[in-house]
Structure 1
Amino acid sequence: MNGSTPQVPGTYVFDAAESRRARALNRLCGSLKEAENREKFKADEVAYCETYGLTVQQRDAVLRRDWNRMMELGGSIFYVFKLAMVDQRSMQYLGGVFTGMTTEEFAQALKAGGRSFG
């Protein structure tokens, strides 16, 4: 990450440098808002990744659905979530992945006030 961006342990700061670094990844994920693109992606995920010019690391993270790695590579949660929706995954599911909880544990933590994530 950019050395001038404040670091918060356990988090990813999405700033302009990260946006540029992950442009291809975020463009791919953002494209999935269109039904036609979701069908193309599901038909051949590798070819779809090639269309967007993902790096090897980005492509690997997308194909393995390594949500944390996508974030490490500069993915924006707002775009990455569009990929999760292709797999019928909820924001609570991703929240659980990012915090090391199950979906149910994460949802319960939110109901309890949300700030007690481990």
Structure 2
Amino acid sequence: MGKAQDNYLHDLAASRRGYAINRLCGSLKNAENRRRFSQDEAAYCDAHGLSPEQRKAILDRDWVAMLDLGGSIFYTFKLAVLDDRSMQYLGGVFTEMSAEEFAAVMRSGGRRFG
């Protein structure tokens, strides 16, 4: 799994770069699509035209790589939910904390900078 950046700017370039990955993840809001994805994840990725790197990130659940490849947290979270993962879990991945540590930091007012 890749190392998270300090922050992610999801600008127009990232949006274009991540279009296929975001379209796939966004499609998971539909129950039939979730069933199809769960049945054959690789085929579902292929049907959505992911790059080889995006396909690998999805199949490996490499959350950091998904964002590096233009994925938006708002879309990739739909895949996380399919895997019974929480936003606190993803926050922990991106901050190199456990989900519990991340939740505790958020409850105490968030990470302090500087």
TM-score by length of 2: 0.93
Report the secondary structure of 2:75's partner residue.
helix
Who is 1:31 aligned against? 27
Who is 1:68 aligned against? 64
Question: Is 1:15 aligned to residue 11 of structure 2?
Answer: yes
Number of matched residues? 109
In 2, distance between residues paired with 1:75 and 1:12? 10
Who is 2:42 aligned against? 46
Structure 1 outlier segments of 4+, above 4 Å: none
In 1, distance between residues paired with 2:6 and 2:47? 32
Who is 2:84 aligned against? 88
Q: For residue 102 of structure 1, what is the amino acid of its counterpart? A: S
User: How far 1:11 sits from its partner (Å)?
Assistant: 1.2
Question: Is 1:115 aligned to residue 94 of structure 2?
Answer: no
User: How far 1:111 sits from its partner (Å)?
Assistant: 0.3
Q: For residue 112 of structure 1, what is the amino acid of its counterpart? A: S
User: How far 1:115 sits from its partner (Å)?
Assistant: 2.2
Q: Which runs of 5+ in 2 are unaligned?
A: none
Query: 1:34-93 deviations in whole A, cap 9, x for unaligned?
Result: 111000000000000001000000000000000000000010000000000010100000
**Are the counterparts in 2 of residues 27 and 52 from structure 1 also a CA contact under 8 Å?**
yes
In 1, distance between residues paired with 2:52 and 2:6? 24
Q: Which protein has greater RCO, CA pairs closer than 8 Å, 6+ apart? A: 2
Q: For residue 57 of structure 1, what is the amino acid of its counterpart? A: E
In 2, distance between residues paired with 1:102 and 1:115? 14
**Are the counterparts in 2 of residues 61 and 67 from structure 1 also a CA contact under 8 Å?**
yes
Q: Cα RMSD (Å) of the superposition?
A: 1.1
